Structure 1
Amino acid sequence: MALQDDLTAVQRCVDELVRTVDKLAQHSGAEMKGIDVRRVRTDTDHLRESFALLRATAPGAAAGQPQERPDLVHIPEKPYDNSLWTDSDDEGLGAKDRHAP
């Protein structure tokens, strides 16, 4: 369970960082307004989103629930039936009975 404890601790730190950057942006005067504060705010938002993705993929993310895996689709090795393509044009080549301009 140490991994979950570490993830929770990091989540608290990231949330605190976001709150602190928001306070800094609100309290800063005209000397700190502009691209630098927006960049830091954007970076903290990106960090929060990235960590949320990481946390969602961590082992045991959904405690007590097995992680869902998409159903695998078997694709056969044999060629497709040519009768499926009788009404279609060859891509990029045009129809058989027509000529390029």
Structure 2
Amino acid sequence: MDARELNRQQDEQLLKTGVVDRELFFDLHNAHGYDAASSVGWARGKLEVLAARLRSGAGLRVYEPTLQGEVEIGAASAVEFFAWVLRHFPHTLPLQTEGAA
């Protein structure tokens, strides 16, 4: 399977589940920390999938390292999501917000 197909499948799964588990969190963290356009762009893409899920009315469950566990972010909690993004992945902002309510 090539990288594009793997990335597409990851995006579909993320849109379906809305889960950023510990492994994905650290993949995002490492990509963000590498601070290259391609790696930050990859992380931004995943976070935009999550933002799209929120816009569709579905919630998220994201890993929060300070708690060493996952927290729920309700569908109406876009501010909470963007605060989480700002805390952990500030170089990915601004995210695409087309269609935001």
TM beyond 0.5 = no
Could you say which structure has the higher strand fraction? 2
Whose RCO is larger (CA < 8 A, sep 6+)?
Answer: 2
Q: TM-score, normalised by structure 1?
A: 0.30
Query: Which protein has the larger Cα radius of gyration, Structure 1 or Structure 2?
Result: 1
